[in-house]
Structure 1
Amino acid sequence: MSEITPETERELVIIGVDNAAFSPLLEILEERKTVLPEQLRLLEEEDSEADPQVFANRNITVQSLEQFAFGPQQVVLLLKGGAAGQAALAAAEEAGAWVLDASDNTRGDESVAVVHPLLNAGAIASAERHVLALPASGAAMVAEALLPLRDRVQAVEVQLNQPVSALGKAAVDSMAAQTARMFNAQEVDVDPEVGHRLAFNHLSSSDALLESGHSLRELALVHDLRRLLGEDIAVDACINTASVFHGQLANLRVVLKDEADLEQLRALLRNGTGLKLEDRPSAQDAVGGDITLVGRLRQSLLSRRQVNFCAVSDNLRKDLAINCVQIVQLLLKNH
């Protein structure tokens, strides 16, 4: 029989069973024994008819989001966006629960702390509200890769190649169906949400462009990197979408305050928390793993103060699921 403690009396509520990150999230929660089956509540919109989910050899019923009663003993992990996500966030916060937004419901709200468990976990204690936000897609990986060099960096340009799973489960399903049709020599329609074919393609942008030429996703990446690393670092970003299901790769062009010493920088990256230095890292190498791979460190041909290198990680397991679970653990234990 499980020991009853103040921590085990808490509940973890996950909203958004149909999210692409839900399965790896459940795996990490079970691997790390973050919660007991009786502490876990799964919610989805009433008309979704979601099947029960297996967790720690127990079937967990997916309950109706619309009929669920939130309470102050809960930590709510929000994987759902849109009107349903916004309504759930408001109801949970009003009930006194802690809310971790992993679906951009609070994007642009400066009253919500953007938290990375490695970089700024202390921001939880000083949070203005009981609402936290996970960094934008790719921001966690890039921030981890830059952290060992943080005090030396003046500016960084990020070229993020995101996988289709960064666009959501519907995009993954759409690309799978398109791939099957193309292998059978059938015509393939463009994805209605993206406006391009996803299978066997590489998109300069999967989102509508603003007047500046950036997308909202790119500006969110810039915003969150500056919040995590400091406003004194100049940041620009471009996000492409590659025709792969999982695994992201970012090429980083880093301008340093002083002339680069490659051996010193390589040593800093090698000793970085959660990083592994490799000659030619690939997204395939990172998928299913719990660390960020960095490599191809080289002197830029444009400036003695610029170095270029890349970072890769599993966008769902590493950047979303593991970071979410670490924050949930802190909330359940200390808040």
Structure 2
Amino acid sequence: MSEVNRELVLIGVDNAAFPPLLEVLEERETLAPNQLRLLDEEETEVDPQVFANRSIAVESLEKFRFAPEQVVVLLKSGSAAQAALAAAEAAGAWVVDAADNTRGDESVILVHPLLNAAEIAKAERRVLALPGTGAAMVAEALLPLQDQLQAVEVVLNQPVSALGKSAVDAMAAQTARMFNGQEAEIDPAVGHRLAFNHLSSAEAPLASGHNLAELAMIHDLRRLLGEQVALDATINTASVFHGQLANLRVVMKEETEAESVRARLRNGARLKMTERPSAQQAVGGDETLVGRLRQSLLNPRQVNFCAASDNLRRDLAMNCAQLVHLLLKNH
């Protein structure tokens, strides 16, 4: 199918990931403005969006008709997004789920463009899923060590933007109220104040003690790294808007010097070694920052290190844009 008549359809203009995705698509000249369609639900009134110096109208999702030449990206979840996924797949379009609409559906291939893009050719359905932003960063940081991994424990400090745009808006409002000497209103969905806080969990724990986001990260990492790697995860929520940082405790199959691990990480694709990675340092960047590497005092086969990245731009927008490029060009 020729490139000329291909279209990219983005659903979820109000999603926190929408601005950085539009920015990355424009920077990479992935498509022309006349190839971009923007959709949102009927009842929402959204202003036109600017892309490559062109004003793009936001169309009604309910009235839109999908077609085989389209690549459809879901940036939002919910019943409207589920209906759009079904309609787009039935029309023969490619669908990229960036909002967990297909979570738990093993018939949908999980694709990280750097790790397993070749899996697209094996897809039984024209529906692909992006890994969660935390899993995407961790998998990329672990890729240079993959053949030597025995077990990994992840402690992820996620930003409020990982909870969605409504959480970002809530923390901004809470911050403003507190600076004005007023009591911050607590978001009932989270149950804790987001501003000036650090949450052990942003959601209720399940019977196992893990929360759903932690189990989802473990599931994504297993699909990307393989079932042979033992995994556990903890996800805290830090009171920052954007940028994530993970502490990784990595057990190797054999005793390994920290300097050998450092050399592998230094040669990793899209990884940048730095002495003390921080989430703020990573925001706006296109690389995953890796550092604080040290030999564990508990186990001679264990090394500990940190990874930090921009969760929206680096681990969602860039990965999504790469996947869209592959689908538009080759599929």
Q: What secondary structure sits across from 2:251 in the alignment?
A: strand
Distance 1:194 1:240 in 2: 12
Q: How many residues align?
A: 331
Q: What secondary structure sits across from 1:249 in the alignment?
A: strand
2:224 match: 228
Distance 1:59 1:266 in 2: 47
Alignment of 1:74-93 (within 5 A): 74-93=70-89
Identity across matched positions, percent: 75
Q: What secondary structure sits across from 1:104 in the alignment?
A: coil
Distance 2:205 2:3 in 1: 45
Q: Which amino acid aligns with 2:213?
A: R
1:277 match: 273
Alignment of 1:24-39 (within 5 A): 24-39=20-35
Question: Which residue among 151, 167, 172 is the counterpart of 2:168?
Answer: 172
* Pair 1:308 & 2:304 matched: yes
2:111 match: 115
Distance 2:250 2:259 in 1: 16
* Pair 1:183 & 2:179 matched: yes
Distance 1:67 1:313 in 2: 38
1:334 match: 330
Distance 1:263 1:213 in 2: 36
* Pair 1:294 & 2:290 matched: yes
Distance 1:8 1:15 in 2: 21
Q: What secondary structure sits across from 1:106 in the alignment?
A: coil
* Pair 1:17 & 2:13 matched: yes
Q: CA shift at 1:262, angstroms?
A: 1.2
Q: CA shift at 1:163, angstroms?
A: 0.1
Contact 1:12 1:40 in 2 (8 A): yes
Q: TM-score, normalised by structure 2?
A: 0.99
Deviates more, 1:208-217 or 1:20-29: 208-217
* Pair 1:45 & 2:38 matched: no
Distance 1:189 1:204 in 2: 19
Structure 2: which 5+ residue stretches go unaligned?
none
Distance 1:251 1:127 in 2: 33
Q: CA RMSD in A?
A: 0.8
Q: Which amino acid aligns with 1:36?
A: A
Q: TM-score, normalised by structure 1?
A: 0.98
Distance 2:81 2:249 in 1: 36
Distance 2:97 2:191 in 1: 27
Contact 2:133 2:312 in 1 (8 A): no
Distance 1:97 1:208 in 2: 36
Distance 1:8 1:297 in 2: 48
Q: CA shift at 1:189, angstroms?
A: 1.8
CA distances 1:258-297 after superposition (whole Å, capped 9, x unpaired) = 1121111111000100000111011111100001000001
Distance 1:65 1:207 in 2: 30
Q: What secondary structure sits across from 1:118 in the alignment?
A: helix
Distance 1:208 1:36 in 2: 44
Contact 2:13 2:40 in 1 (8 A): yes
Q: CA shift at 1:128, angstroms?
A: 1.6
Distance 1:14 1:153 in 2: 37
Question: Which residue among 138, 141, 153 is the counterpart of 1:142?
Answer: 138
CA distances 1:220-255 after superposition (whole Å, capped 9, x unpaired) = 100110110111001100100000000000000001
1:153 match: 149
CA distances 1:92-149 after superposition (whole Å, capped 9, x unpaired) = 0011000000000000000000000000000111012100000023011000100001
1:322 match: 318
Distance 2:132 2:115 in 1: 14
Q: CA shift at 1:192, angstroms?
A: 1.7
Moved over 4 A (4+): none
Distance 2:44 2:201 in 1: 30
